[in-house]
Structure 1
Amino acid sequence: MTSMTGGCACGRVRFEAEVDSDEAYLCHCRMCQRASGSVSLAMIGIARDAVRWGREPDWYASSPIARRPFCASCGTSLGFAFNDSDQMDLTVAAFDEPARFRPIANYCSDSINRAFLDASRLPEKPVGEIDSVTSRWASAGLPTP
């Protein structure tokens, strides 16, 4: 088991999780799509008691059977939890080291937006080559993230 940290974009909500696997999945359900504003949500399954919140997240009752942790200050989606389960899911991107995880499955595949499923053949443009981004960071006196 490995202790891993993560949190929201603004840093208000932080967590430490005891992670025992590098296996993640992509959820394509319409609830995850709408909750995240994305075509899918990369998640890992974890026991609720394996997650310690430095500051308790805000929770959104996304349906009568589940709720979602998030940060009300910056809007970061942090996961998903059925109301009646001792398991939950954390978003891969919320971890400080998300590259540790690898996707092994597509869940709720009937809602997959196939045009975005495999972007590996699309041209790549590093952030340093996107002038509209780098110039704004430079004007703010900050390095490009």
Structure 2
Amino acid sequence: MSASDAVEFTGHCLCGRVRFRGTYDATHDLKACHCSQCRRWSGHVWAAILPTSLQIEGEPLWYRASDFARRGFCGTCGSSLFWQRDGSEVIDVAAGAIDAPTGLQLQGHIFTADKGDYYAIADGLPQDPGEN
């Protein structure tokens, strides 16, 4: 990543008790996850950035979501904020919690074979069916 590809961002939960700032690589592909776990966690679909640096202010609560990852949220307002794979130092950050203007653009969809039956994906972006 070159210095010109580094994008600074800030964001917070709905009530503002958990705030964060950092950088991400502008060449990162933002994709929406349609798996059943992400849909339940977010209320629809989950899209997150992979930051290259992250500082969190406040204390998110963490939920052990599976045998390989945990999810972070605000204990006051319940905002879904973070996802972290076990053994990784990277904490994915919810794109919807990042302050505007984000400069982000959705590039595709993952786990579409597991998407909800109440909507269609009709934006013409690439779709990866993933694993069920």
Superposition TM-score tier, normalisation by shorter sequence:
0.7 to 0.9
Task: Give 5+ residue unaligned stretches, structure 2.
Answer: 1-5, 124-132
Task: Give 5+ residue unaligned stretches, structure 1.
Answer: 120-145
Task: Tell me the equivalent position of 1:141.
Answer: none
Q: CA RMSD in A?
A: 2.1
* Residue correspondences, number: 117
C-alpha distance in 2, partners of 1:23/1:14? 23
Are 1:70 and 1:76, in contact at CA under 8 Å, matched by a contact in 2?
yes
Q: What do residues 18-40 of structure 1 show as CA deviations (whole Å, max 9, x unaligned)?
A: 122163110111111111121x1
One of 10, 13, 20 as aligned partner of 2:15: 10
Identity %: 33
Higher share in helix: 1
One of 81, 86, 102 as aligned partner of 2:84: 81
For normalisation by structure 2, the TM-score amounts to 0.78
Work out whether 1:118 is the aligned partner of 2:119.
no
Task: Tell me the equivalent position of 1:29.
Answer: 35
One of 66, 69, 75 as aligned partner of 2:69: 66
Are 2:33 and 2:109, in contact at CA under 8 Å, matched by a contact in 1?
yes
Larger Rg: 1
Off by >3 Å, runs of 4+ in structure 1: none
Deviation at 1:63, TM superposition (A): 1.2
Task: Tell me the equivalent position of 1:55.
Answer: 58
Higher share in strand: 2
